[in-house]
Every structure is written in C-alpha cells, then in structure tokens.
Structure 1
Amino acid sequence: MASQKFKDISPYKRTIGTPPEDYLYSKYQKDLAAQATTSTNVINVAIFGIGRAGTIHLTSLARNPRVKILYIVDDIVEKHKKLQDYWSLHDTKFLTSKQSDVIYSDPKLNAVVVASPTFTHEHIVKSALNAKKAVFCEKPIAEEREVCIELYKLAKKVGKPLLTAFNRRFDPSYANLRDRVHKGEVGHVQTIKVCSRDSPLPTIDYLKCSGGIFHDCCVHDIDMLCWVLGEFPIKVSSTAYAHVEEIKAIDDFDTVSVTLLYPSGTIGMIDLSRNSCYGYDQRLEAFGPRGMIRADNEQPIHCVDSQVGLNGIKTAPIWYSFPSRYRLAYQNEMEHFLDLVEGKVTEPFVKGHENLAVNKIASAAEESARTGKFVELTWTKEDFEI
C-alpha cells in the first residue's frame, strides 16, 4: 500500500501528446490526417538532371502524393528507359536539354527542379522564371554573383519562388540544436564547431567540375554556423592542404580548417575533409557559459552492439554518405519547396541574400587558404537586400 497514494487517473483522461523529437510519428500523423481530406491539387513538376542530387530529388518527388512528374530532362539518353521502368514513370516525357523548350511553354507545368551541371543552371532558371514557373535549383543558380542577384530579382518580379536550399537546415537534429541556442539554453555562444568529413571520396571527374572544396563542401558548414548564430563573420582565416596527389593536380584541397570571428565575439571553427574512411562524419557543437549542445553522428542501426571474443564492444558504423545521412533533410527541403509553390508558406526558409553571403564567406576562406592571410569581411545594406 506504500505506493497507493501515487496512483494516477486513467490514461484515457490524460493528455500526454507526441514528443517533438519523434519527427517520424509527426509525419505519420500528417499522412493519416490526409486520408480525411478531399484536396485534389497536384503540382506538375519537371526535373533537369538525374545525377547525384537529381536522383535524391526524384526519389522524393516520385513518392510524393501531391506531385506529378511531367518531364525529366537528361542528356544521357540511355538512362531514360531505365528510369521510366524503375520508377513506373510511364506518363512522364523524357527529353534532352535541346528539347527542353517544350517544358517552358507547357501551361500545365507548375515547377522546375534543377539538378543538372552548374554551367546549365543560369539558362534553365531564367527560362523557367520567364515562363512563370516556380524553381528549385541546386547551388549555385549561376556562376557569377551579379547574375545570381538578377535571377533573384527576376523571381520577385514574376512572383514565383526561387529556392536554392542548404539541405542541412532541414535536418531535425540540427534544427533542434539551433532552436535551443535561440532559446538561450547555453547563453551567448562562445564557440561553435562543425566537423564535416566526406565519404566516399568523390571521383576526380566530379571534383574537376565541383567548384572546389570551399564552394562545393565548405559552404554547407559556413551556412550551418551562420544559421545557428544568426550573424555573419567579420574575419576569416583558413588553412588547406591536398594530401591526395590527384586532388593536388587539379589545384584543389582535400583537408581544410577554417576559423571565423563573428561580430558578437563568437568564434566558429570548421574541420573539413574530402575523405573519411569510417563513414560520413557530421557533427555540430555550440558551447556557451551555461553549457553545451551537440548534434552527433547518427547510426543506421543504433540499437545493436556486440561483444565477441576479446575485441570489446562493437557497434554499427555511422551513415556511409550524404544521401543516407540527410535523406530526411532532403525530403523536408522538397516539402518546403512544394509548400512555396502552393502558397502555403510565403517566405523561403533559405533566402537569396543568405546564399550570396555564404558564397562570399567561402570565397574569403579560399582566399585566406591560398594567400596565408586573414581576410576581413564588411557587410553593407546591399548584402541583405535583393
């Protein structure tokens, strides 16, 4: 009878609710609620390029109940039949880039997803916006900063969303860390660190057209720090080295360390590598006078470990590469774009000036690595207006 006084009321009379950390159950609840709706809105989409990123977006869109893929554009014609059969895209038209004008003139088409090589982005984005289509484009939307600005202005003029997203912002663990920092859990952040080590080592053919490690990889880490802190750095220092001879031969780096000083006094640190033999190493930490918050690596099978012989405890490896580690982030990113297309949200989660600012910081980091000097950054009103 000692615990009788602690007896609770019936669980049917209590409201506990779903813990916010269980993002998969929250998604299930949304799917369940959709069974009771009568909405027949379908977003008609065209996808340019089915390579590394394009395959990820195709996966999200082909399985999305509010999307119909009208067109796929890829210049490797041999892929068309395989894609059509694998995804059962028998109502989808497969085109090459030379045939893509038909896409812009189709009044039924609502949105364009651009995942083709970087040098093609500008033309596709401009053509799509002029045709009054919403655009999601992998970074960058153009190779020149001034052209990027003009394209963002064009999107505003025609009244259609242009989203160039940093997918890590849509990752639940990183979003949770940022929200808690903004609530003041650790106080004023004194240091913030990101570790980003790639797996597997990209091919040389990819690296040759990637834009280099600073603009291909480091931009994600820079964006993460600036997004969490809500400010841009005023001083950047970087050291870089190429341990892999083939990467050195194309005048790129495989190992980078960046230090950033922010106006509030926060010091940011980036530890970046192209080649992590043990998996896709992704960690983020914010430290302040009240404590520390860390988003650590995830494991695909995190609840099994073993002890065999005298080898100690063995656990599963971390995720192997970015498509698996950030699978949910990519899905959330595309859902956000579709919400923009439908007008369910009016402001993009990643704004144009943020993309341009991150590229400006990445250029400063590369300049520092190549010159061995600190690079100071100044920010004007024009940097925050497009």
Structure 2
Amino acid sequence: MCLSSAKKMATLQFKGKSPYEGVLSRKHDASDFKYERYTNFFTKDIGSSSPVCLALFGLGRAGSIHLSNIIASPRLNLRYIVEANKDLWEPAKARWNLKDTMFIHPDQVDTVYQDKALQACLIATPTFTHEGYILGSLGAGLAVFSEKPIAEDPRSTVRCYQKADQVGKPLFCAFNRRFDPAFASIRSKVRSGKVGHVQMIKTTSRDSPLPSLDYLKISGGIYHDCAVHDIDMITWVLGEYPTQVFSVATAEIPEIDGINDFDNVAITMKFPSGSIGMIDLCRFANYGYDQRLEVFGHEGMLHAQNDTPNKAEYCTADGSSQAPMYYSFPSRHADGYIRELEHFLDVVQNNEEMSVTDRMTAAVSKIADACEESARSGKPVQLNWTVQEIPKGYVQV
C-alpha cells in the first residue's frame, strides 16, 4: 500500500461499532421537550379517553394565545367562548372554524355554569372581572385556569382560593415563565446543586411593544402587572422568600407618569440564606422583548439568553448579523403557554399536584406590595413570614 493510501485510511482504527448493535430502542435527551410532546401523543396515558370540555373567557391578547393552543390540543373540546365584544365573534368563528363552539355574552354566562358536560374554565379577561368568573366557575364545580393575578386585591384572592378548597376543584394561577424550557432547566440545575449555593440571581425584563395607556390604566401597575413574574421566577428558582426588599422606580414616559405609574424599576431582594436577587424591569425596549435570567454560585454560573425566531446568520466584510430577538411575549413564550396548559390538563385529568399554589401567589403579591412601598417611600422594607405562608417545597432559614 502506498504512503498516501495509508494516510487516507489512518482513522479506520477509530471506527466505531454499528449503531444497530446492542440497541433495542433509542432514547432522546430529556431536554428535547418538543420530541417528548410528540411521543406523548401516542404513548402517554392521559387518564381519560375523553377530551376535557372547556369554556374560554376572553378573546383579548392572552385569550387569543390560549385559543390557538386549545384548538391544537387533542385533549380539549372548546365548548364555549365568553366574550363581551360581539364584533370578535364572527372573525373568531371563521378563523378557527368553530362550528361546534357556542359564543356567549357575559350577560348569559349562567348558560355556561349550568352545562353539566363542562369540566373546566380558562379565565383570560381583564383583572377586575376575574373574581366573579372564578367564583362562578368554581361554584358550578368546574376546574379553573386563571391568568394572573387571581383577583385585584389579596382579600379577593383569598376568597377565590377558599372557594376552590370548599368545592374541591383546582384553581391554577398562570405564571407562564415557570414553564419556559430554558428557565425550567435553570431551576432544575440550581435545585440539584450545579452552581452550589446561589450568591446572586438576576432577571432582566424589558417589555415590547409599548402597551397602550388604556391597558396600563387597568393593569394594576408595573409592580403587580410585570414585576410579579420576575419575583415569582427568582423565588421559585431559589425556593425561599426575601426578608428585605429595596426598590427604586422612575417614569421616563410622561404619559405613564401622568397615571402615577412607573416605567423603569430596579429591585434588590435579600434572602435568609444569604442569596441576593436583582430585577431590572422596564415597560418598553425598542429592540424587542428582552428577557434574561442569570444565576451565579460558588460552583459556576447559569444563564438564559434571549431567543430569536431563527438562527440564520448573515456575514459580510463589515461583520455578521442575525434575526433580532422575539418582538413580544406571545412569540417568546409560545412554548411556555403550551406547557402550562398541558400541566393544567394533567391536574384535571390525572390529579397531578398543581405547581402554582395559593401560598405562592399570595407570597408573590406580598413581595410586590413591599417593593412598591419601598419605591414610593424611598426606604427598604422588611418582610416577615409565618409558617402558614411558606408553600410546600420552599424553606425559610
């Protein structure tokens, strides 16, 4: 054999065995949740041979996101849509081919509650309507999936959860970022000790597009509309609640200042274990929906960067570029919305343990109140916690 041939064949010594040898079946990595969802369509025992009959309340931004996921799910039968704006009825019927779905005005909502075939309701209406719809749905013996917040004030939220306990039906509050694959992966790694004790945990949340003033006037303010997501994320990852918070906030946009709200917020949280949490929050980023998470500990660092619609890269002599980050939350958190709906159905059909409980939502609201108090007073706020306030899986050192 000539020398050149020997060189070409030099790597034959590294050739592995056939991929068929000794392999009875192939397994995908657990991180590929989309493939897992695909295989579950054929193999997962969902505990019921019949789809869950559901009523959707609201066809606004959140309702429209949920509608597309409901239609796509073989586990659901959309029986009703409750929507006050009748101008949306015909376009929705035509767009989604909703021949078997009844459209109901809120004035006739009792029709929904009296339907014995119905099993669950998804509430995606403005916050001020939540309590009435939640109590009505629970009173009819229906499981409830509610966009956050559950209600406008803590006492109303308590009433809703008390009703859920009374009738023995789940009331699920949708903190959809928990179901984002990247954030969920970071939480899992933190809880398994990959970074050791957490020294710093940071979130960046800069909204896009600029919300309308009509929405901001009924949003509950930036702390309860936006910061609650970051507060929930940080406390969920750590599994503990802060004992001190300090926040500063400004209103750079005159129209937002005019409604006594803020558009730029910074929050620091001190935890009993010694961890420090930081939140960088803004109502508007002109470059897209900026959402990041970083966890730093003695053993290393974890971070979730912004996602983009595609990974194609354009290169020239002047440099390289790629598609900008997602424009807004419906696209950035599309997978999270699907996963949280699947979780709710697992709760309803398979009696799985609900991942967001009354104590968790109450704690997040309490922290948000303290952060806003700090911003308006200019002083840090101390937080005390009773044993009754700490959820299962959380600790208070």
* Shorter-chain TM-score range: over 0.9
* Residue 126 of structure 1, aligned match among 124, 128, 135: 135
Separation (CA, whole Å) in 2 of partners of 1:237 and 1:215: 16
The residue type equivalent to 1:327 in the other structure is A
Q: Deviations over 1:313-361 (max 9, x none)?
A: 111101110000000100100111111111x143111111101100100
Instruction: Tell whether 2:384 aligns with 1:378.
Output: yes
Give the alignment's TM-score, normalised by structure 1: 0.95
Determine the structure 2 residue equivalent to 1:336. 343
Does the 8 Å CA contact 2:144/2:172 hold for their aligned counterparts? yes
State how 1:288-327 maps to structure 2 within 5 Å: 288-302=297-311, 304-308=312-316, 310=318, 312-327=319-334
Distance 1:257 1:334 in 2: 31
Q: Which residue of 2 aligns with 1:7?
A: 15
Give the one of 21, 24, 40 matched to 1:30: 40
Identity %: 48
2:253 aligned residue (241, 244, 247) = 244
The 1-side partners of 2:225 and 2:77 are apart by 30
* TM-score normalised over the length of structure 2: 0.93
The whole-number CA distance in structure 2 between the counterparts of 1:57 and 1:38 is: 23
Whether 1:162 and 2:159 are equivalent positions in the alignment is no
1:177-192 equivalences in 2 (<5 Å): 177-192=186-201
Distance of 1:263 and 1:115 partners within structure 2: 36
Letter in 2 for 1:371: S
Counterpart position of 1:348: 354
The CA distance in 2 between the partners of 1:262 and 1:19, in whole Å, is 34
Root-mean-square deviation over aligned CA pairs: 1.8
**Larger-gyration structure (1/2):** 2
Distance 2:226 2:149 in 1: 12
Helix, strand or coil at the partner of 1:328: helix
Deviations 1:100-125 (A, max 9, x none): 01111110000001111111111111
Higher mean C-alpha displacement, 118-127 vs 10-19: 10-19
Contact 2:46 2:346 in 1 (8 A): no
Assess if the C-alpha contact under 8 Å between 2:357 and 2:391 holds in 1.
no
CA contact (8 A) 2:360 2:391 kept: no
Deviation at 1:21, TM superposition (A): 2.3
Residue 39 and residue 261 in structure 1: after superposition, are their counterparts in 2 closer, same or farther (change >3 A)?
closer
Partner-residue secondary structure (3-state), 2:20:
helix
Q: Tell me the equivalent position of 1:360.
A: 366
What residue ranges of structure 2 are gaps of 5+ in the alignment?
Answer: 1-8, 393-397
- The one-letter amino acid of 2:383's match is L
> SS of the residue aligned with 2:174?
coil
For the residue of structure 1 that corresponds to 2:99, the secondary structure is coil
Taking the aligned partners of 2:33 and 2:82, their CA distance within structure 1 comes to 33
Cα shift at 1:20: 2.0
* Count of residues in Structure 1 that have an aligned counterpart in Structure 2: 382
Distance 1:101 1:64 in 2: 26
Distance 1:17 1:245, change over 3 A: same
Structure-2 separation of matches of 1:246 and 1:339: 43
Q: Deviations over 1:221-264 (max 9, x none)?
A: 00000000000000000010000011000000110000000000
Q: Give 1:191's aligned amino acid.
A: M
Kindly state the Cα deviation for residue 165 of structure 1 after the two structures are TM-superposed.
1.9
